[in-house]
Structure 1
Amino acid sequence: MASAKSVCVRAGTPADSAAITGLQEAGFGMRYGGDENEFRGAVFPVERSLVAVEGDRIVGHTVDLTMTVTVPGERTVRACGVSGVAVAPTHRRRGILRELYRAQHARTEADGLPLTIFTASEGTIYGRFGYEVAIIDTAVFIDTRRAEFRATTPDPGGVTLETLAEAAPRIREIYERWQKMTAGAQARPDAKWDLFFADVERHRRGATTLFVLLHADGYALYRRSRRENRDIASVWEFRAVTPDAHAALWRVLLGMDLVDTVEAEIADDDPLAYLLTDPRAVQVTHRGDALWARVMDVPAALTARAYRADLDTVVAVHDPFRDAGGNFALRIRDGVAECEPTSRTAALGFDINILGALYFGAHRATMFAAASRITVEDPKALRAFDEAFTTDRAPQLGWFF
Structure 2
Amino acid sequence: MASTNGITVRSARAEERPEIVQLSEISFGMRVNPADLEYAEQVFPTERALVAVDGDQIVGHANDRVMTVTVPGERTVQASGVTSVVVAPTHRRRGILRSLYTELHRRSESENLPLTIFTASEGTIYGRFGYGPTIVTNEVLMPGRTAEFRPTTPDPGGVRVAAPDEAKTVIPEIYDRWRRFVPGAQIRPEARWQQRVFADAVQSEGGSPQFFLVHPDGYAIFRRAWNDDGKNIATIRELRAITPEAHIALWRVLLGMDLVHTIETELADRDPLPHLLTDPRLVKVTGRHDALWARVMDVPAALSARTYQRDLDVVLSVDDPFRDAGGTFALRVRDGIADCEPTDRAPDLELGIDILGSLYFGSYRARDFAAANRIQAKDAARLRAFDEAFGSEREAELGWFF
Counterpart in the other structure of 2:290: 289
In structure 1, the residue matched to 2:356 is 355
Are 1:364 and 2:382 matched, yes or no?
A: no
Match of 2:245 in 1: 244
Distance 1:112 1:205, change over 3 A: farther
2:140/2:267 contact within 8 Å kept = yes
**Correspondence 1:118-133 to 2 at 5 A:** 118-133=118-133
- Per the TM alignment, residue 204 of structure 1 is displaced from its structure 2 partner at its CA by 3.0
Distance 1:96 1:38 in 2: 28
CA contact (8 A) 1:164 1:197 kept: no
| Aligned equivalent of 1:162 | 162
Deviation at 1:72, TM superposition (A): 0.1
Q: Distance in 1 between matches of 2:69 and 2:396?
A: 11
Offset at 1:379?
A: 1.6
Maintained 8 Å contact 1:35/1:200? no
SS in 2 for 1:367: helix
How far apart are the structure 2 equivalents of 1:352 and 1:174? 35
Residue 83 of structure 2 aligns with an amino acid whose one-letter code is: S
1:336-364 Cα offsets, whole Å, 9 max, x none, are 00000001000100100011000001111
Residue 393 of structure 1 corresponds to which residue in structure 2?
Answer: 394
2:90 alignment partner, SS class = helix
User: Counterpart amino acid of 2:108?
Assistant: T
Cα RMSD of the aligned pairs, angstroms, is 1.3
Q: Aligned partners of 2:172 and 2:283: how far apart in 1?
A: 29
Compute the TM-score of the two structures, normalised by the length of structure 1: 0.97
1:111 and 1:342 mapped to 2: Cα distance? Answer: 25
Question: Secondary structure at the residue paired with 2:369?
Answer: helix
Identity of aligned residues (%): 58
Equivalence for 1:135:
135
Matched, 1:268 2:266: no
**Aligned-partner Cα distance in 2 for 1:127–1:202:** 36
1:350-383 CA deviation, whole Å, 9 max, x = no partner?
1000110000011110000001100111221101
How far is the alpha carbon of 1:220 from its aligned partner?
0.3
Q: Which amino acid aligns with 2:263?
A: V
Gaps of 5+ in 2: none
In structure 2, the partner of 1:10 is 10
**What does residue 151 of structure 1 align with?**
151
SS at match of 2:362: coil
State the alpha-carbon separation in 1 of the partners of residues 200 and 282 from structure 2: 32
Query: What's the counterpart of residue 184 of structure 1?
Result: 184
The answer for the alignment partner of 1:96 in structure 2 is: 96
Q: Tell me whether 295-304 or 161-170 shows the greater mean CA deviation.
A: 161-170
Are residue 323 (structure 1) and residue 324 (structure 2) matched?
Answer: yes
Equivalent position of 2:70 in the other structure: 70
User: Would you say how many aligned residue pairs link Structure 1 and Structure 2?
Assistant: 399
Distance 2:261 2:303 in 1: 46
C-alpha distance in structure 2 between counterparts of 1:37 and 1:214, whole Å: 29
CA deviation string 1:218-276 (max 9, x = no partner): 00000001223321100011000000100000000000000011111111110000000
| In structure 1, C-alpha distance between the alignment counterparts of 2:38 and 2:190, rounded to whole Å | 14
Asked whether the equivalents of residues 159 and 213 of structure 2 are also in contact (C-alpha less than 8 Å), the reply is: yes
Cα contact 1:61–1:86 (8 A) shared by 2: yes
Taking the aligned partners of 1:241 and 1:159, their CA distance within structure 2 comes to 14
- Render the CA deviation track for 1:178-211: whole Å, top value 9, x for unaligned: 0001000000012212213344648835432210
**In terms of mean alpha carbon deviation, does 89-98 or 174-183 score higher?**
89-98
- 1:146/1:281 contact within 8 Å kept: no
Whether contact under 8 Å (1:146, 1:278) holds in the other structure is: no
Q: Which range is displaced more, 275-284 or 223-232?
A: 223-232
Counterpart-to-counterpart distance in 1, 2:324 and 2:208: 49
Q: Say whether the 8 Å CA contact 2:222–2:235 is kept in structure 1.
A: yes
- Whole-Å separation in 2 of the counterparts to 1:256 and 1:145: 7
Given that 2:72 and 2:393 are in contact with CA atoms closer than 8 Å, whether structure 1 keeps it comes out as no
Counterpart-to-counterpart distance in 2, 1:296 and 1:200 = 39
Match for residue 19 of structure 1? 19
Q: CA deviation at 1:34?
A: 2.3
Give how far 1:215 is off: 0.5
The separation in 2 between residues aligned to 1:84 and 1:27, in whole angstroms, is: 10
8 Å contact from structure 1 (residues 32, 202) kept in 2: no
- Report the Cα offset of residue 40 of structure 1: 1.2
Q: Whole-Å Cα distance in 2 between the matches of residues 104 and 297 of structure 1?
A: 15
8 Å CA contact 2:67–2:80 kept in 1: the answer is yes
Q: Which amino acid aligns with 1:309?
A: R
Q: What is the identity, as a one-letter code, of the residue corresponding to 1:21? A: V
Whether the aligned pair in 2 keeps the contact of 1:114 and 1:295 (CA below 8 Å) is yes
Matched position secondary structure for 1:120: coil
* Structure 1 outlier segments of 4+, above 6 Å: none
* Aligned-residue offset at 1:125: 0.7
* Paired residues for 1:36-47 under 5 Å: 36-47=36-47
Is the deviation greater in 207-216 or in 110-119?
Answer: 207-216
